[in-house]
Amino acid sequence: MAASADGEHSAAEPSLEEEASLLARKREVAARSAPSPPAILFFDGKCNLCNATVDYFIRLDRASNPPRIMVASLQSPAAEQALKDKGVRPDQFINQSDPSQETVVYLSPSGAIATRSDAILRAAAHLGPWWLRALCWLFLLLPALLRDIAYRTVARFRIRLFGSRPTCRMPTKADRRHFL
């Protein structure tokens, strides 16, 4: 920067304070316009019903760029690390001896954790068209105790009714951008 004879900066060039202020304003605007982090749904990668639900959510989110939801099998290292960062162990959500105690886990963009019926309803409301969002919010008005009785009943029989895979699913090339 060129200074005049009396030590003042020329009008054509901003001072250091003005440059710092301009840079701070640019950062603030960039932070406000940055997309929020995607939600994350953790699921039992061996369960066919869970995989079909994940396929549906990915279909709902296929056109989003960047994705509004990411998914990860509870058995995966990515889930272990992401949940550990939140102070949660993924193995507390997988119980092969009592499938009714197993649950999906939804991590909202704000960082809130939901399980069981809350997780499914909040994920569907986050992704779905207006009518699905409205339906999910109506179900969320019901007491969690009642919703979770239904959730646990389905969880108990899901493997018998829908089957399971011997290993966790591998994402297709098209779905890879939705997986952690």
**What does the pLDDT look like over 20-51, one tens digit per residue?**
677 767 776 655 656 788 999 999 888 899 99
Residue with structure tokens 């949940």? 83
Which residue from 143, 156, 56 is spatially nearest to 103, judged by alpha carbons?
A: 156
Mean pLDDT of 156-165: 89
Residues above pLDDT 90, as percent of the chain: 47
- Write the burial class of residue 107 (CB in 10 Å: 0-12 exposed, 13-18 middle, 19+ buried): buried
In a domain? residue 128? yes
Tokens representing 8?
Answer: 């003042």
Q: φ, ψ for residue 162 (rounded to 5)?
A: -115, -15
Q: φ, ψ for residue 179 (rounded to 5)?
A: -100, 140
How many domains would you assign to the chain? Answer: 1
Tokens representing 34?
Answer: 């940055």
In a domain? residue 113? yes
In a domain? residue 29? no
In a domain? residue 23? no
Residue with structure tokens 């963009």? 109
Whether the pLDDT of residue 5 is over 70: the answer is no
Q: Rounded to the nearest 5 degrees, what angle is found at the Cα of 119, between the Cα atoms of 114 and 122?
A: 105
**What does the pLDDT look like over 56-79, one tens digit per residue?**
999 999 988 899 999 999 888 999
In a domain? residue 61? yes
In a domain? residue 81? yes
113-119: list long-range contacts, CB under 8 Å, 24+ apart. Answer: 113/86, 113/88, 116/144, 116/147, 116/148, 116/151, 116/152, 117/144, 117/147, 117/148, 117/150, 117/151, 118/144, 118/147, 119/41
In a domain? residue 115? yes
**What does the pLDDT look like over 76-126, one tens digit per residue?**
899 999 999 988 887 788 777 776 678 899 999 999 999 999 999 999 999
Q: Please tell me the pTM assigned to this model.
A: 0.76
In a domain? residue 6? no
Q: Which domain holds residue 67?
A: 39-178
